[in-house]
């Protein structure tokens, strides 16, 4: 069941587009942010909201790599290994993330905190090697910077947990 605030958000987004179906991807992104992945129910809801068959929404989900049909980690590390990043150590950065987290491409740590993906260009070539974590970009990476970032994310998660009224 989608939250009332998400349904209201859907209406607000759809109103911005002359063609309702143009809102499919933004709706899926907001839905994924709330639910954690693109569930069957989310697909049905988006299809209903924009007035298209569910198969059209499913086709969009299959096209965009940032949309996930299975739950992923709270922090999704997308490491670019395309040309600019590859030339500046992107593959070594991916390997370092993989070793540090103990997971491979499109895998999630057992605690559900981190997912890892090797991706194509994320448009941050000037800062190669680069990666994207959820909506944030990290550039000119080194293994030490990656370690620092992972530690910071773990710490941030721990602080969030301890700030929930315990
Ligand atoms: S090649 Fe890595 S961001 Fe463009």
All domains in the chain, ordered by first residue: 4-63 (1.10.10), 75-161 (3.40.30.10)
Q: Cα(66) to centroid of ligand 1, in Å?
A: 16
Give 19-32 pLDDT, tens digit per residue. Answer: 999 999 999 999 99
Q: Which atom of ligand 1 has the smallest separation from the CA of 84?
A: 1
Whether residue 88 contacts residue 60, with contact meaning beta carbons closer than 8 Å, is answered with no
> Using omega within 30 degrees of 0 as the cis cutoff, is the peptide bond preceding 129 cis?
yes
Task: Tell which residue, 100, 114, 107, has the closest CA to residue 143.
Answer: 100
Is the predicted pLDDT of residue 166 greater than 80, yes or no?
A: no
State the residue for tokens 């939250």.
Answer: 3
Structure tokens at 164: 């929930």
The pLDDT tens digits for 98-117 are: 999 999 999 999 999 999 99
Residue matched to tokens 């090697």: 129
139 lines ligand 1 (CB under 6 A): no
Indicate whether residue 131 lines ligand 1 (CB < 6 A).
no
- Ligand 1: centre distance to CA 77 (Å): 14
- Helix extents (H) in 2-142: 4-14, 24-35, 40-50, 54-63, 83-87, 90-101
Check if 128 has its Cβ closer than 6 Å to any atom of ligand 1.
yes
Cβ(86) – ligand 1 distance below 6 Å: no
84 CB within 6 A, ligand 1: yes
86 CA → ligand 1 middle, Å = 8
Q: Which of 128, 59, 141 is nearest to 97 (CA)?
A: 141
pLDDT at 164: 45
Rounded CA-CA distance 100/97 in Å is: 5
Q: Which atom of ligand 1 is nearest the CA belonging to 83?
A: 1
pLDDT, one tens digit per residue, over 42-88 is 999 999 999 999 999 999 999 998 899 999 999 999 999 999 999 99
Any idea of the CA torsion for 40, 132, 121, 139, to the nearest 10 degrees?
180
Q: Is the pTM of this model over 0.85?
A: no
Please give the Cα distance from 54 to 97 (Å, whole number).
Answer: 36
């Amino acid at each position: 069941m989608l939250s009332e605030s998400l349904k209201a958000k859907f209406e607000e987004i759809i109103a911005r587009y002359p063609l309702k179906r143009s809102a499919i991807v933004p709706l899926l992104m907001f839905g994924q942010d709330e639910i954690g992945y693109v569930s069957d129910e989310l697909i049905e809801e988006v299809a209903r909201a924009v007035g298209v068959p569910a198969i059209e929404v499913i086709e969009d989900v299959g096209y965009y790599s940032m949309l996930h049909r299975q739950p992923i980690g709270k922090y999704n590390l997308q490491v670019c290994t395309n040309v600019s990043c590859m030339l500046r150590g992107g593959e070594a950065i991916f390997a370092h993330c993989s070793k540090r987290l103990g997971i491979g491409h499109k895998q999630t740590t057992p605690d559900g905190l981190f997912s890892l993906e090797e991706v194509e260009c994320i448009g941050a070539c000037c800062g190669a090697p680069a990666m994207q974590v959820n909506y944030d970009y990290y550039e000119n990476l080194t293994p030490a910077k990656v370690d620092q970032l992972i530690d910071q994310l773990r710490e941030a998660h721990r602080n969030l947990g301890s700030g929930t009224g315990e």
